[in-house]
Amino acid sequence: MGRLQNKVTIVTGGARGMGAATARLFAAEGAKVVIADLLDADGAALAAEIGDSARFVRHDVTDETSWQQLIGTAESSFGAIDVLVNNAGILMFKTIAETARAEFQRVLDVNLVGCFLGTKLVGARMTERGRGSIVNISSVDGMKAANGLSAYNASKWAVRGFTKAAAMEFGHKGVRVNSVHPGGIDTAMGNPYAEAKAEVNKRYGMVPMQRVGEPVEVAYTSLFLASDESSYLCGAEIAVDGGMLCGQYYVGFPGAPGV
């Protein structure tokens, strides 16, 4: 049997990138997957690719009514929800001085408020049943900072803290809440110009593994947290970053290749 056999899962931002990799992997491991996204064509194509164990639902993570409709479709299609992956997110490169309040708020609404609404509404269903797993996709930028990413940093640090508060409130009710912190991943967000992998990797010389990450590598971490294999993890944070958070890797220092 698969690691998520017959578990009903919602993946937000599931139409492409890390979300799509997660949907494919979860379905391959036996899950019933609801792909939630605003990208209609990509989402429908992915659901058709996966087959009968997947549904696509157009969904705005910032809208509470949309969440209620998503939950209703998931339950009517497959049954009670076992897993929620709050993956939907947006990125904005602007200095603080250049960022308008509305732009800052939009990043918070998608990355943080969307996570809050999903955790609250789906979590309520899970706590009624006394079991479930919620995986919140934060970022390495929820553990450090970067110039030009103030709104994104703020949102992802907040997701990290929110996850721990949710773990404390839901853990004793049988629902585990954990966070995943990807580093640079080869997605439309991380590689918007679709550069060749070799070119992208040139920018990762300061990362111990010396390369960009793959979406499925994040998906496998979410799979572990969604499965019963992680039954005693609650409030944990797992970095999937090639060692980025260890510190900067200096070529020519002891331990570097050829030294």
Structure tokens at 31: 């899950």
Residue 152 appears among annotated catalytic residues: yes
Structure tokens at 237: 């944070």
Q: Would the CA dihedral through 218, 24, 106, 119 be positive or negative?
A: negative
Helix axes 40-50, 17-28, angle to 10 degrees: 20
Beta strands in the chain (DSSP E): 8-12, 32-37, 54-58, 83-86, 132-137, 175-182, 237-240
- 152, 204, 220, 249: the catalytic one is 152
Task: Using alpha carbons, list the distances in angstroms from residue 142 to 26, 61, 137, 163, 243.
Answer: 25, 20, 10, 12, 15
d(CA 103, CA 245): 28
Report which residue type is found at 132: G
Q: Are 30 and 6 in contact (CB under 8 A)?
A: yes
Query: Quick one: three-class SS letters along 115-183?
Result: HHHHHHHHHHHHHHHCCEEEEEECCHHHCCCCCCEHHHHHHHHHHHHHHHHHHHHHHHHCEEEEEEEEC
Closest CA to 216 of 90, 29, 2, 74: 29
Closest CA to 75 of 126, 26, 2, 114: 126
User: Where in the sequence numbering do the catalytic residues fall?
Assistant: 152
